[in-house]
């Protein structure tokens, strides 16, 4: 175990770590009678990136909650490993891929 830690230590020391996210507590209620609308909402959104050389590990995680019943679910929206060689890029894992939003019109 100690050898494994010593082998992986240079990757952790010289890597670049980026993280960002948001916390947005939300409460939905009807205007007509003031009752609560029990829809699931995204409470926490966290994006993390760990890169070393031509390799990058990216994750996009969300914590979704529903106030009624105190239901909480952890959702790994994206988790993939990317390699950027000279001929292009290679990605392995779970990715969000959007079709038809290229031009932005």
Residue 86 lies in a domain: yes
Is residue 83 in a domain? yes
| Domain, as residue range, for 19 | 15-28+37-94
Task: Tell me if 5 is assigned to some domain.
Answer: no
Residue 43 lies in a domain: yes
Establish if 51 belongs to a structural domain.
yes
Residue 104 lies in a domain: no
- Per the listing, tokens 């230590």 go with 9
Distances (CA, A) of 75 to 27, 33, 42, 97: 20, 33, 10, 16
Question: What is the token pair recorded at 52?
Answer: 């070393």
**Counted domains in the chain:** 1
The reply to whether 82 falls in a domain is yes
pTM of the model: 0.68
Residues 31-86 pLDDT 10s = 898 888 777 888 899 999 999 889 999 999 999 887 777 788 888 899 999 999 99
């Amino acid at each position: 175990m100690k050898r494994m830690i010593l082998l992986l230590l240079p990757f952790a020391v010289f890597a670049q770590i980026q993280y960002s996210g948001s916390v947005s507590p939300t409460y939905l209620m009807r205007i007509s009678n003031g009752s609560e609308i029990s829809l699931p909402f995204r409470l926490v959104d966290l994006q993390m990136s760990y890169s070393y050389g031509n390799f990058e590990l990216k994750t996009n995680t969300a914590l979704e909650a529903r106030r009624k019943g105190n239901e909480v679910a952890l959702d790994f929206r994206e988790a993939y490993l990317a390699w950027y060689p000279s001929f292009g890029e290679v990605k392995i894992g779970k990715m969000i891929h959007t079709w038809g939003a290229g031009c932005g019109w």
